[in-house]
Homo-oligomer: A and B are copies of this chain.
Amino acid sequence: MTQPDMPTPPWERPPKRRRPPRAPLSRERIVDAAYAVLDREGYDGLSMRQVAAELHVAVSALYVHVRDKDELLQLMYNRLFDGYELPEPDPEQWREQLRNFARQGRQRLLSHRDMAKISMAHVPFTPELLPHVERMLAMFTAAGLPRKVVAIAGDLLSTYMDGFVLEESLWRDRYPENGGAAPEKMREEIQSYFSSLPPDRFPNLVELADVMVDESNDYRFELGVEIILRGIASYIGEPDPGNDQPEPG
């Protein structure tokens, strides 16, 4: 019988490479590697070959565990929600709770490069994500909103989150020379560009140049969320809005 834990004596030929030194592949490890590539190369550099190289493995090995590149992206998207716990709905604090939800969501989208691109390309209705959708609906229901508003409010907030972060990253991509480290110079340039426009044709752009770029992304995000929350809150206690005249007044 073989003695598994004994060192191989030097005169014996190496044991024919049983037990390959690397851990076997798995969906988890593939997603890990894909995230590593994404952070390093960005969305456009995220190729199956790069992922395989990250794992020191042939490309075709990936296809044993993953049907498609699309499925891999789906798995990456799902992981975005891992450990993303929404609190128990509290009717007294639904606004603060949703503010936190949005903040948390943006932070997650920012935690991996180009993550917003992946998020925007997927609808959060896979079985794994339904619990989150359910929690979201519960929070809006607890707030006392009409059914039809509940049904679309979550979508509205999520769309805004994704779109906002996507736009953040688009701006970053337009200024690739700074390694993400000098956004101030970028802002200066944009602001001076807006300020230099002919004031007769672009009075508002010139006048608002400072506000449009001076404020931090954090502030602009929070204000956008606040606008949406105010709009949602205005429906509390109202009946379901009708199809014909969304604004009766």
Residues of A that sit less than 8 Å from B by CB: 95, 120-123, 130-131, 133-134, 137-138, 141, 147-153, 155-156, 159-160, 162-164, 166-167, 170-171, 174, 197, 201-205, 208, 211-212, 215, 219-220, 222-224, 226-232, 234-235, 241, 243, 246-247
Q: Name 18 interchain pairs, CB-CB below 8 A, sorted by A.
A: A95-B247, A131-B202, A134-B204, A138-B203, A138-B204, A150-B211, A151-B220, A152-B223, A159-B159, A160-B160, A162-B163, A226-B231, A226-B241, A226-B246, A228-B228, A230-B235, A231-B232, A231-B234
> What's the Cα separation between A246 and B103 when bound, in Å?
14
Question: Which of B166, B228, B234, B241 interacts with A120 by CB under 8 Å?
Answer: B166
**Once the chains are docked, how many angstroms separate the CA of A211 from the CA of B141?**
13
Whether A205 touches B134, Cβ cut-off 8 Å, given contacts A160-B160, A226-B246, A231-B228, is: yes
Tell me which residues across on chain B come within 8 A of A162, comparing CB atoms.
163
Q: Contacts A95-B247, A137-B208 hold; do A130 and B164 have CB atoms under 8 A apart?
A: no
Interface majority SS (helix, strand, loop, mixed), chain A: helix
Chain B residues with Cβ below 8 Å from A224 are 152, 155-156
Contact of A147 among B147, B149, B163, B208 (CB under 8 A): B208
Cβ-closest chain B residue relative to A215: B148
Pick from B130, B166, B202, B215: contact of A205, CB below 8 A. B130
